[in-house]
Structure 1
Amino acid sequence: MSSTSGSSTLSRPIPRFASIGSPYFGIMLAVMAVVLILSNIGASKGVVLGPIVTDGGFFLFPLAYILGDVMSEVYGFKVARKAIVTSFALSVFASLCYWIIIALPGFGDDYGNAKQAAIEGALGPVPLIVLGSLLAFLAGQTINSWILVKMKARTGERTLWARLMSSSVVGEFVDTLIFCSIAASVIGITDFPTFVNYVLVGFLYKTLVEFLFVPITALVIGLIKKREPSYGVRV
């Protein structure tokens, strides 16, 4: 029995990852942080496209998840988690800056008052959006990364498309449900049918975008793996 168990253990593929010594990780981390900050600003605006209810950050946010998939696959769960936490620390810092900007005294003329009102309207809700985004992205992206890396531990370099798609479905659902529950009231959603619309549209849209980008995501992952000198080191 021990022989069978040992044979099973030996036959399981060993997942390969890269260290973060090259510039690629830093570039992806910077892009993820910028995408997250911009999507938080955009999410403070409710958007209606016919029967669809969403927010102004809808076209940006899936990019953060795609970057998370790339980092998880190439660098592993610990590094991806570091990128998630760093991105949100920068997002919280941006929110603090918005609060200071709003609090600073402006010009007292009509133009200055109009500018102040516009800035308060645009940036004032962002801290609540960031709170919702923080909780949602931390939960959703962490689950997404964990599932992807766990599946890689079982399959090695094979079935990348399955890892990307499976992890995306679970991660996006958790993320969307948490975020919409907090952001709905901020952007003016007050009734349950509209809330359900907001959640379903967000989940289906984000998941569809990730599915459509699977070939591109896989191509980017392949290119980075080839160019990362340390890829193949177990971390």
Structure 2
Amino acid sequence: MRSEGGYRYLNWVTGIFVTCLIVSNIIVVKIVGLGPMTLSGAIVIFPISYIFGDILTEVYGYARSRQVIWIGFACNLLAVLAIQTAAMLPAADFWDGQAAYDRILGYAPRFLVASLIAYLLGEFVNSFILAKLKIMTRGKWLWSRTISSTLFGQIVDTAVFSLVAFVGTLTLFEMVSISFWEWLIKCSYEIIATPVTYAVVNYLKRTEHEDYYDYDTDFNPLKVSTQ
């Protein structure tokens, strides 16, 4: 596998992926009502991270995607620690925004744990399935591979988050309802964005001279190196 310096756009794809993750965890506190659907504000951008996760795995391979997933986890954890540390610092006498800051940016430990666990499990399931399907289909039918991997990855992500975050506070029906609508919207993103995914993947494969197949890849999710 080539080094990072051998790729022209890998840093850009990584940066967009990590940005989507961090921003989604900030705007998640916004509760959106769309007809019968109750969604979090993260629905605006979080599904895009799955699209770029697909792009990473499809072009650069599972090992590279795995490394980026862990980078995203570390960056998100750093952002949370910085936000929480700033919240604990004493506010200036003339500043009256502390309560608003705490309400919007203050993370309940349970939601934080739910978000981090769901992210890791969902992204690794998505990347693993996509890499395996690429081998099984010999690189054909990209649309079916990205949609299939997202369907399963988002099931894991949404179910784990809802279970850890809401068990004991919401009824089973409420948890299933929220999870279903979140999952449906996230997967709809992937389907609608399929033409864009095709265009980006084809462009990157052509310009990067890379179309990685994970024939001999170690799929251990705990590894960070790309070797």
TM range (shorter): 0.7 to 0.9
Q: Deviations over 1:103-162 (max 9, x none)?
A: 1001234xx2x3010110011126544422211111111111111111111222211111
Question: Does the 8 Å CA contact 2:131/2:213 hold for their aligned counterparts?
Answer: no
Q: Deviations over 1:210-229 (max 9, x none)?
A: 11111211111001000003
Question: CA RMSD, aligned part only?
Answer: 2.0
Q: Does 1:124 align with 2:106?
A: yes
Q: Does 1:100 align with 2:100?
A: no
Match of 2:36 in 1: 51
Q: Secondary structure at the match of 1:23?
A: coil
* 1:19 CA displacement: 5.7
Q: Of 183, 205, 211, which aligns to 1:225?
A: 205
Question: Does the 8 Å CA contact 2:58/2:212 hold for their aligned counterparts?
Answer: no
Match of 1:214 in 2: 194
Match of 1:179 in 2: 161
* 1:232 CA displacement: 4.8
Please, which moves more after superposition, 20-29 or 216-225? 20-29
Question: Does the 8 Å CA contact 2:24/2:46 hold for their aligned counterparts?
Answer: yes
The aligned amino acid for 1:221 is: V
The aligned amino acid for 1:141 is: E
Structure 1 unmatched runs, 5+: 1-16
Please, which moves more after superposition, 190-199 or 160-169? 190-199
Question: Does the 8 Å CA contact 1:18/1:234 hold for their aligned counterparts?
Answer: no
Q: Of 169, 174, 177, which aligns to 1:197?
A: 177
Structure 2 unmatched runs, 5+: 215-227
Q: What is the TM-score normalised by the length of structure 2?
A: 0.86
The ranges of structure 1 where at least 4 consecutive aligned residues each deviate by more than 6 angstroms after the TM superposition are: none
* 1:43 CA displacement: 1.0
Please, which moves more after superposition, 73-82 or 21-30? 21-30
Percent of aligned positions that are identical: 33
Bigger Cα Rg: 1
Match of 1:138 in 2: 120
- Number of matched residues? 212
The aligned amino acid for 1:152 is: K
Q: Of 148, 160, 164, which aligns to 2:142?
A: 160
Counterparts in 2 of 1:233 and 1:180: CA distance versus 1, 3 Å: closer
Question: Does the 8 Å CA contact 1:132/1:179 hold for their aligned counterparts?
Answer: yes
Give the Cα–Cα distance (whole angstroms) in 1 for the partners of residues 176 and 124 of structure 2.
24
The aligned amino acid for 1:153 is: I
